[in-house]
Amino acid sequence: MSDDGVRPFHLHVSDAELTDLRDRLRRTRWPDAETSPGWSQGPPIGYLRELVRYWADEYDWRRVEAELNGHQQFLTEIDGLDVHFLHVRSPRADARPLVITHGWPGSVLEPLAVIDALTDPKSSDSPAFHVVAPSLPGFGFSGKPTGTGWGVRRTADAWAILMQRLGYDRCWAAGGDWGGRVTQSLATRHPDLVAGLHTYTPYPREPVERPGTLTELEGRWVADTRRFAQFGSGYSLQQSTRPQTVAYALADSPVAQLAWMLDKIHAWTDHAGEVQDAVSGDQILDMATLYWLTDTGGSSARFYWENSPAGRSVEIVEVPAAITVFPADIEKFPRHWLEPTFPQLTSWSESERGGHFPALEVPTVYVAELRAAFGSMELEARR
């Protein structure tokens, strides 16, 4: 334990845990095959069988451990809960602190994919950042709450304590999914800390359609968002209302954990039918294995219960904000729907590629978006 309460964290999963995982995978009791072609009923059994075979026989978790341990990992207790985080400082003297928050079914593996490019860019003209990437409460290597109350706002307050504990009294903030909500809440609750934010999942307070004001593209965005709400949000309703029910399956079966996540990874990424055109099989298994080894299927699901209804955490964001729309994301809103929530919307970008996991799908694009957003905010602040 250091004087500031920050403890180094080194990851090593025992051989016994990995052997148990492989044994469980090889003893999977498979359901009947789907009766409708493709992914319309969920992950097809043929696709999942092959991915599970690779998981049991060839997949290398130690590669993930080495990558995480190759960066600086820490734990610190905040409000009675251990918070796990990556903290990688840039070698650049002009670097600015940046806190990046993941969502579900994500983890710190998302910011890890872009952390080197952000901390040590090849060009001296590109902004550099000291990156802090925490694991949400109940996710990954952070502690699991044993009582209620760990929602978006309490998490944002914990992030403010974390950044100040690390010596940062001013920072940028970024994130998507639940990480986007935490980022917005961090900015609204701690505007003296957050100089500006970037999100690719902005949440408006009350999106109201104005007849005749939508472009053709915006109309497709609204239709996509409504289609997701009608046909793609069953997982959210389950986790928001009965997280303990699904926790039994996720804690007992690695295939259940994989299928529960894979269904969303397939639906939320940018591809023409083959999910591995967006994220690799290894990346999918990295995500699922982290959830399995940490037994956080249930505790991460409870984050939905803690924040239901999700809209209650949306407040007016008074700090400078940047928004990137990725074409395959699940919820996309017209700019004029968002401007009342983000009155200092300084940057708006519509990417040509990418979905709900841009750090994994299009890392170069995502890094460029963060650099452009925060670089322009800093230039404006200097004027």
Report the catalytic residues: 177, 304, 356
Helices (H) and strands (E) in the chain, counts: 16, 9
Beta strands in the chain (DSSP E): 6-8, 73-78, 81-88, 96-101, 129-134, 171-175, 194-199, 321-325, 345-350
Question: Whose CA is closest to 100, among 92, 88, 91?
Answer: 88
Contact 369, 324 (CB under 8 A): yes
Question: What would the two tokens of residue 50 be?
Answer: 């092959």
Place of tokens 């400078």: 320
- The token pair at 340 is 């009342």
Which distant-in-sequence residues (6+ apart) come within 8 Å of 227 by Cβ? none
Which positions ≥6 away from 34 have C-beta within 8 Å?
A: 40, 41, 42, 44, 45
Three-class DSSP category at 24: helix
Edge-first strand order for the sheet with 96-101 is 6-8, 73-78, 81-88, 129-134, 96-101, 171-175, 194-199, 321-325, 345-350
Which letter, b or e, does each residue of 230-262 get, where b requires 16 or more Cβ atoms within 10 Å of its Cβ? eebeebbeebbeebeebbeebbebbbbbbbbbb
With the CA atoms of 38, 42, 46 and 51 taken in that order, what torsion angle do they form, in degrees rounded to the nearest 10? 120
Question: What is d(CA 276, CA 284) in angstroms, rounded to the nearest whole number?
Answer: 9
Nearest to 163 by CA among 263, 258, 96: 96
291 vs 105: CA distance, rounded Å: 9
Distance of CA 344 to the CA centre of its chain: 24
Most distant CA pair in the chain, distance: 64
